[in-house]
Amino acid sequence: MEIRTDSTSLDIDRHEGNLIKELRSSSTKPVTEPSGWLSEDLKRNIFLTTVDNVLNWGRKSSLWTETAFTACCTFEFISLSSSRFDIARFGMEVLRSSPRHADLIITAGTLTWKMAPQIKRVYEQMAEPKWVIAMGACGITGGIFADSYSVVPGYNRILPIDVYIPGCPPRPEALLAGIELLRKKVEKRSFLQG
């Protein structure tokens, strides 16, 4: 790994601009969804052994969320984690700020191209296994900002998304339903998938 040593703010700005340009040109198409990555014969042979059951039960019951929230949808997430909707019932109230400890990114909010490299980097630095929930219209397609020059039209341009939750913003109930779906998805994993 090379250590960057650029010191002037101009250097830093230029580097960032290049990063964004690169990411933008390389992500014109949505990333394929994770299940699509399964090789064909693995797909036909998914066997849920006891090991898998135990692992998946553990993983689905303690999905720790990374605090990487970008815009207004976050407030619905905050509402979900406080008393009325209480995400802690599923063991999810542990918010970790470091991607090394987290299992799940809930992409709450509009993503601008300026922020995109950071989010992508956070995702890449998360420890396997990891999941992503795209929350809100902005998370799915860019929402009301879809035509804007500065907004990423949907997180699936840069991250593989597991569950989409529509709404602007989605109500906490919708988010809960999304989390339920994700838990179902986690249950169907096989550890052979890596």
Partner 1 sequence: MLSEFSLIALFILIVMGFATTLVLIPQALKKIGIVPSKPSEVKYEPYECGLETIGETWVQFKIRYYFYALLLITLDITVIFLYPWAVELKNLGSSSLGVIFSFIGILAVGYIYAWRKGALEWK
Partner 2 sequence: MPELITVGAAISPNLPWSDWQFGFWIHLLIFGIGIISLLLGSVIIFIWLERRLVGRFQRRLGPNRAGPLGLLQSVADVIKILTKEDIVPSRADKLIFWIAPIVAFTPVVLMLAVVPVADGALLADLNIGILFVIAISSITALGVFMAGWASYNKYSILSAMRTVAQLVSYEMPLILSMVGVVIIAGSLSLNDIVKTQTVPFIVLQPAGFFIFFIASLAEINRTPFDLLEADSELVAGYNIEYSGMKFATFYLTEYCEAIVLSTLAATIFLGGWQGPWLPPIVWLLLKIGIVFCFIVWIRSTLPRLRIDQVMGFAWKFLLPLAILNIFVTSIFVALWPETPAWLMGLTNLAILVAYILFWSKLFKPGGKAVAV
Give 136 or 160: the residue with its C-beta nearer to ligand SF4.
136
Q: Which of 86, 67, 69, 127 is nearest to 103 (CA)?
A: 127
Residue 69: strand, helix, or coil: coil
Which of 11, 168, 180, 191 contacts ligand SF4 by CB under 6 A?
168
Cα distances (Å, whole numbers) of residue 176 to 36, 70, 79, 163? 25, 19, 11, 12
Does 35 bind partner 2 (CB under 8 A)? Our answer is: no
- Interface with partner 1 (CB under 8 A), residue total 25
Residue 122 near which of partner 2, ligand SF4, partner 1, none (CB within 5-8 Å, type-dependent): partner 1
- Interface with ligand SF4 (CB under 6 A), residue total 12
Which of 63, 71, 92, 158 contacts ligand SF4 by CB under 6 A?
71
Record the tokens describing residue 20, joined without a space: 């964004």
Cis ω before 34 (30° cut-off from 0): no
The least distance separating partner 2 from the CB of residue 149, rounded to whole angstroms, comes to 32
Give 121 or 184: the residue with its C-beta nearer to partner 1.
121
Among left, alpha and beta (phi > 0; psi -120 to 50; other), residue 87 is: alpha
Q: Which of 109, 122, 98 is nearest to 165 (CA)?
A: 109
Does 106 bind ligand SF4 (CB under 6 A)? Our answer is: no
List residues bridging with 106 in a β-sheet: 133
The least distance separating partner 1 from the CB of residue 165, rounded to whole angstroms, comes to 23
The least distance separating ligand SF4 from the CB of residue 67, rounded to whole angstroms, comes to 16
